[in-house]
């Protein structure tokens, strides 16, 4: 199914408490926002984005948590790509892109991100880091 996001240039930005509840809410609001942009609930793009948001938000809560700090979700529709960004306050502790091993205790969720996304990475911020992933819009 070809999906066309109608609000290219728009973006969704929201902060969430760095808790499991915050991570669940991030996923829920992400698919709601995508639906508002023309990506139907249950479509492949919506489901793939939900998995990526879930994994990145869970990592922000489990590994990027700093007491009293939230994490931020940003969805940015570009011409043919949906960019998903999750930022947290812990810059010194980022995901390992090298050495991801199937079956390892940590990094399993990043295997899912790597399998679904066309690209992903980590960008430093003034405070903390942003882990991002990109999905193709037109191929879902």
pLDDT, tens digit, for every residue of 27-69?
999 999 999 999 999 999 999 999 999 999 999 998 776 777 8
Token pair, residue 115, equals 């399998």
In this prediction, residue 118 carries a pLDDT of 95
Question: Does 90 have pLDDT greater than 70?
Answer: yes
Q: Which pLDDT value is given to residue 107?
A: 55
Cβ atoms within 10 Å of 2's Cβ, excluding its own: 8
Phi, psi of 23 (to 5 degrees): -65, -45
* CATH code, residues 12-136: 3.30.565.10
Mean pLDDT confidence for 97-109 = 50
Measured from the Cβ of residue 26, the count of other Cβ atoms closer than 10 Å reads 25
The answer to whether 55 and 112 are in contact (CB under 8 A) is: yes
CB 40 within 8 A of CB 83: no
Does residue 25 register a pLDDT over 80?
Answer: yes
Percent of the chain exceeding pLDDT 70 equals 78
**Confidence grade of residue 105 (pLDDT, cut at 50, 70, 90):** very low
Residue 78: phi and psi, rounded to 5, are: -105, -175
- The closest of 97, 103, 90 to 121, measured between CA atoms, is 97
**Contact between residue 135 and residue 56 where contact means Cβ atoms under 8 Å apart:** no
Give 19's contacts (C-beta < 8 A, 6+ positions apart): 61
95: pLDDT confidence band, cut at 50, 70 and 90? low
Does residue 133 carry a pLDDT above 70? yes
Query: According to the model, what pLDDT value does residue 109 have?
Result: 76
């Amino acid at each position: 199914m070809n999906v066309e996001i109608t609000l290219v240039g728009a973006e969704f930005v929201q902060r969430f408490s760095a808790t499991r509840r915050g991570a669940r809410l991030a996923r829920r609001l992400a698919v709601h926002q995508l639906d508002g942009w023309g990506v139907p609930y249950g479509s492949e793009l919506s489901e793939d984005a939900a998995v990526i948001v879930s994994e990145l938000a869970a990592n922000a809560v489990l590994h990027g948590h700093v007491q009293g700090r939230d994490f931020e979700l940003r969805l940015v529709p570009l011409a043919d790509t949906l960019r998903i960004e999750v930022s947290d306050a812990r810059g010194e502790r980022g995901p390992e892109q090298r050495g991801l091993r199937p079956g390892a205790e940590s990094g399993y969720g990043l295997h899912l991100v790597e399998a679904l996304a066309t690209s992903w990475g980590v960008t430093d911020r003034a405070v903390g880091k942003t882990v991002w992933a990109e999905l193709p819009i037109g191929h879902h």
